Structure 1
C-alpha cells in the first residue's frame, strides 16, 4: 500500500472537497461531494455527537445514496452548514426526486469550537453561508490545517485542524480519509514534538520525526485546552472513502473499523466529552473489494490524517493554544 498522487481523500476518483472559513469567527465548514450520489453509512463512538440526517445512513433505512457530507465547526449552530450545501445542490439540480420535488440529501456532523477565542457574537447564524461557500469552493485539491471545519479546532495541547490522506491498495482500490480534529485527547506525546500516529507515517507527511523513544506514554493526560476553557470543547469528525462498490452495511463496517485510527492518533479517544464520528462512503467506481482490507486501510488513513491536521495548523491572532509548527520550527 502507498499514498495516492495527492495523498488526499480526493485520490478517490470523482470526489471533491471544499472549505470555507471566517478567521474572525475562528470557525468554518468543509463539504465533500461528487457529481453523482454515493453510498454511505456512519458510526459514532464519542459520547457527545452533534449530527444531521445520520439516521438515514443506517443499513436498514430506505435511502440508498446521498449527495454530500458536511463537517462543520459551530456546535449545533454549525449543522446549518448542511442547509447551505443543500442550496448549492438544489441550484445544480441535484437531489432525490419525489414527484416534482428535488431534495438534496446532506448528512453532517459538527465539532464544538464556540470557546476558542473567535468572535461568536453573530446576529444571524453564519454557518449556512459558510456551507454554501464551501460547496462552491469544492475541488479535487484543497488545503489542510487551519481551514474549513478545522479552522478553530484544538487538541489537548496544540491547535487541531483539517487533515487528509490516502492509500492505494494492491488490488487497485483507493481509500482516503478526511478529518476535522478537535479532540479531548492529545495528538502529540509529552513534549509536543512526536505524534502518537508516528508508527503509521509514510515518508515525512507530518515531519518524519519517528515515534517517541520514551516509554509509558499515555499516562500523562495534561491538557492545555482543559486549563484554558473546558473539557467539553471537543470532537473528532471524519469521512473515509473508497472507490470500491460497497453496500450500506459494508460501509458501516468500514466506518467502525476506521475508528481505530482515532484511537491510534489521539490519547485518550472516544471520551464522554467527544462526539467522535466517522462517515464511510463508497463511490462504486470499481468492483467489490475486500471489506476487511478497506476498513484497515481506512483506519491507517484516518490516523495519518489526524496527525497531518495538527502538523499543518498555523498560528493566528487570539489563539488559545500554540500550533505544532510554532513550537517545532
Structure 2
C-alpha cells in the first residue's frame, strides 16, 4: 500500500468539488483494508467508493481510504436461483450489465445508478420499484476498530427507504467489502413503475426481457438526469418524503394535482422533485450551482462550485418547500 499526502478528492466524487484529504490510500483487497485500519493511528477516516452519495464541504483532515476491491463471481446455484458476489469496488452499473450478460434477472431496474457496489446496501439504493433489500442476500464488512470480518444477512441490515443499519446504529463502525445478491434465471419483471411501459412501447420492444427493461431504464435516466462526467451532481439530492395520510389529504385539498403513493402504516410518499419544481426551483442557477432544468431533484455543479455553495442552495430549497407545503425534505447525500 502506498500512502499519499494532500490528495485532491475531486476525481473521486461525482459532484466534482475541490477538496483535499491529508492522507489517501487506494485499497484493492480486504487484507489491505485491515492493515490500513490498523495503522491509521486513530485519525479520522473517510471511506470512499464511487463518491456518488457525498458532498465535500471542506478539506478532510484525516485518512481517506478508497475501496477498489474488484471481482464478480457466481458463488452458488440452486434451481433457478443464482447467488452472485461482487467486490465493494465494482462499479454498480458494471455489475448490472455483467449479470444481464449471464442471463440473470433482478438488477435491471437499477441500471445506470452511479456509484460502487459497496455503497448500495448502506443507502438501500432503489429505482423504478426495486430496492437492494429485494435482491441482496448478504454482505461482508470489516469493523473499523477491531478489523473483525463479519457477515450481515439481509434481515440484519434493517433496510428502510434509503436507510439501513449502517446509517444509524452501526454508522461509522463497518466498511463493506463485498455484497452477495440472489438473482434468478427466470424473469420476474417490474415494469409498472414510472415510465418503463411507455418507454418500452416508444422503443418498439416486441419481447420484454430483462435487457429490454434495462435499456428502457437507461433511456429514461439519460433523458432526465445529467451525466456526472459532464455536469457535477450526486443524482437525487433529497429523499421522497413520506407524510401522514391526514397531512397528504389536507395538502391534496389545496393542491389537487399533488401526486402520492401508499407507503404503508398510514403514510403517503410524495415525489420530492414535484415539490421542488412547484416551489419554483427547476432550472434555477446561481453562479456555479443550480437545480437541473430537466429534474428538479438534482442539484448541479456547473463548474468551480464549492461544497458550501451546494449545501447552502440545498438549505434554501428545503426552506422553500417547507414554507409552501409544510414538508421537511431530507438529503440523500452525506455532507462531509
The structure with more strand, counted as a fraction of residues:
2
- Fold equivalence (TM over 0.5): no
The TM-score, its normalising length taken from structure 2, stands at 0.27
Q: Which has the larger radius of gyration?
A: 2
The TM-score, its normalising length taken from structure 1, stands at 0.27
Greater relative contact order, per chain length (Cα 8 Å cut-off, separation 6+): 1
